[in-house]
Structure 1
Amino acid sequence: MAVTLTPVTVLLTAVVCGALAAALTGWIRSIADSDSRWLRSGLHVGLAAAGGAGAAGLAGTVPELVAFAALAVACGVLVAIDLAVHRLPDVVVVPMYPVLLATLGVASAVTGDWGALGRAAAAALALLAFYFTLAFINPSGLGLGDVKLAGVLGLFLGWLGWYYVLVGTLAAFALNAVVALVLLLSRRADRHTGIAFGPAMIAGAAAAAWLSVGG
């Protein structure tokens, strides 16, 4: 059940993920209850396709490919929705827990590496606790949607290794700080303006995953 990395595999996975995201466009607008340009631009389709290509490059087995591809589609959808309405809907985030646990569980059974699954679960719990604490301290800065997404990304990054959990988490806060600074300097926001944090969390996780390929 190993995945052979070829241009065809990368292209096919990207096309499938992009097509799935495109098929969800109407549903996305419905759950977001918005016709924002972020939802009309096709951003979620491009992000899902790019994530699918990355999934093909990252996965070593078929179950991993399914897990990473499903996460790519979900993340593409979540970025668009969060930018549009500053929400990370439970209907997208919560199902990713059983999806990732099931597919990564199969991957562990295939490889015999049950430690990776345990590490993924531990990382999910750690990030849930960390983000919940931050949201409790500063509820205007982080919402429960961010907390729930942190657990999902913890499963993913934990599967790759603790180092990538740390890198992905720090990268999220660094990227969000850069975005906030740019918006302030360009006068497109002030210190009271809310900034969607989900996209930075997802971008940070993607950056860590990219590093893991070289590592």
Structure 2
Amino acid sequence: MLFVTAVASGLVCAGSAAALGRWMRGLADSDSRWLRIGLHIVLAAAGGFGAAYLARGWADLVTFAALAVACALLVTIDLAVFRLPDKIVLPMYPVVFGGLLVAAAVYSEWGSLGRAAAAAAVLLAFYFILALINPSGMGLGDVKLSGLLGAFLGWLGWPAVMAGTLAAFVINAAVALVLLAARRVGAKSGIAFGPAMVIGAVLGAAYFAVRSGGVALLGAAA
């Protein structure tokens, strides 16, 4: 049953991303190949599928699935034009926190909600300080995205927050080294950090699943 739900969630997310494709390309205002190869659909499908294995029930499943679609669009746009548009990031704040509020009420997980809010605040402050120190290496779009990913990881637990955050910087450093070695970028070239942040969050969630001895089966807390 869980697998069927995961497949259905993945298909819904893929369909949603496909429907938003034209809007995404208009928002990016670019003809980059990243926007034309269907990457956002594949990423949304994978995110929707994985969301079912992390969700306690329908409330957080819907929240995680919506975040998966948003992140799929953001990763694709960031790869194309090195931007994380506010028109996607900012509306996701009420969606994510509203969804987690409903989940907290349904499953009596008020501690998880408080942890999600705290993690979002911590990562927002951390990334903002980094952006002030090195504005050429990190933009405000990254700062704003960090709050969403912090809320997601914080809902799962502090170990997921730490693992996901660390993974993002390790992944970004590894990609930078590979691109430098291949002479695809220079020492002062910008590298999209949003994809590393999202992949890091996925790895943080996977770490949570492994650390907890398995996945949070959908409906187990209902």
Q: What interval of TM-score do these two structures reach, taking the shorter chain for normalisation?
A: over 0.9
Q: Counterpart in 1 of 2:37?
A: 41
Matching residue's letter, 2:68: A
Residue 127 of structure 1 corresponds to 123
Partner residue in 2 for 1:24: 20
Corresponding residue to 1:116 among 109, 112, 119: 112
Residue 6 of structure 2 is matched in structure 1 by 10
Could you tell me which residue of structure 2 aligns to residue 167 of structure 1?
163
Q: How many Å apart are 1:6 and its aligned residue?
A: 2.0
Deviation at 1:8, TM superposition (A): 1.1
TM-score normalised according to structure 1 size: 0.97
RMSD: 0.7
Match for residue 186 of structure 1 among 172, 177, 182: 182
Amino acid at match of 1:207: L
Per the alignment, in what secondary structure is the counterpart of residue 94 of structure 1?
Answer: helix
Between the two proteins, the alignment pairs up a number of residues equal to 211
**Distance in 1, Cα, partners of 2:146 & 2:110:** 22
Aligned position for 2:154:
158
Inter-partner Cα distance in structure 1 for 2:87 and 2:120: 18
The 2-side partners of 1:98 and 1:19 are apart by 22
Offset at 1:190?
Answer: 1.3
* 2:110 equivalent to 1:98: no
Q: What is the letter of the counterpart of residue 103 of structure 1?
A: G
3-state SS of the aligned residue for 1:95?
Answer: helix
Distance 1:105 1:16 in 2: 23
CA deviation digits over 1:100-152, x for unaligned, max 9? Answer: 11111011001111011011001000000000000001000000000000001
- The answer on 1:53 being equivalent to 2:44 is no
Identity score, percent: 63
- Distance in 1 between the 2:92 and 2:133 partners? 26
The answer for unaligned runs of 5 or more in structure 2 is 213-222
Runs of 5+ consecutive residues of structure 1 not aligned to the other structure: none
- 1:58 is paired with a residue of what secondary structure? coil
List structure 1 segments (4+ residues) > 2 angstroms apart after TM superposition. none
Q: 1:15: Cα distance to partner?
A: 0.4
Greater relative contact order (Cα < 8 A, sep 6+): 2
Q: Give 2:16's aligned amino acid.
A: L
CA distance in 2, matches of 1:64, 1:47: 19
Q: Any idea what the Cα deviations from partners look like across 1:160-186, whole Å, max 9, x if unmatched?
A: 011111110000000000000000111
Q: Hey, what's the Cα distance between the residues in 2 that align with 1:181 and 1:201?
A: 17
